[in-house]
Amino acid sequence: MYQRSEERMRIARNIRLIRELRNYDQRYVASALQVGRSTLSTWENGLSEVKIETLIRLAAVLGLEDYRQIIDFDPDALFKKSDTNSG
């Protein structure tokens, strides 16, 4: 599905960041996915690969329209100022 090192770690980081931005705890997300909290933790720490089917379900739990929003999430974009000036 995706490369083991960099991409897995990026997706792991994104899962955690999106979950935290939604203010969801691991228990809530794990319960909604019907997995153990420790399983979610292994995904968030990049210790195990998340299957595409799980990413699709995870996206729905996190209120995203598409699982690719997890893969392509750019936390730096949240803090960049717009290039347009209003004055």
Assigned domain for 48 exists: yes
Q: Quick one: tokens of 49?
A: 């690969």
Q: Quick one: tokens of 3?
A: 């490369």
Supply the pLDDT for residue 35: 97
Contact 49, 2 (CB under 8 A): yes
| CATH code for the domain in which residue 37 is found | 1.10.260.40
Number of domains present in the structure of the chain: 1
Assigned domain for 79 exists: no
Rounded to an integer, the average pLDDT of 66-85 is: 79
Assigned domain for 40 exists: yes
Assigned domain for 82 exists: no
Q: Global pTM?
A: 0.82
Pairwise CA distance, residues 28 & 7, whole Å: 25
Q: Quick one: tokens of 70?
A: 């997890």
Assigned domain for 85 exists: no
What is the residue range of 17's domain?
A: 6-71
Question: Over the stretch 42-71, which tens digit does the pLDDT of each residue have?
Answer: 999 999 999 999 999 999 999 999 999 999
Supply the pLDDT for residue 84: 53
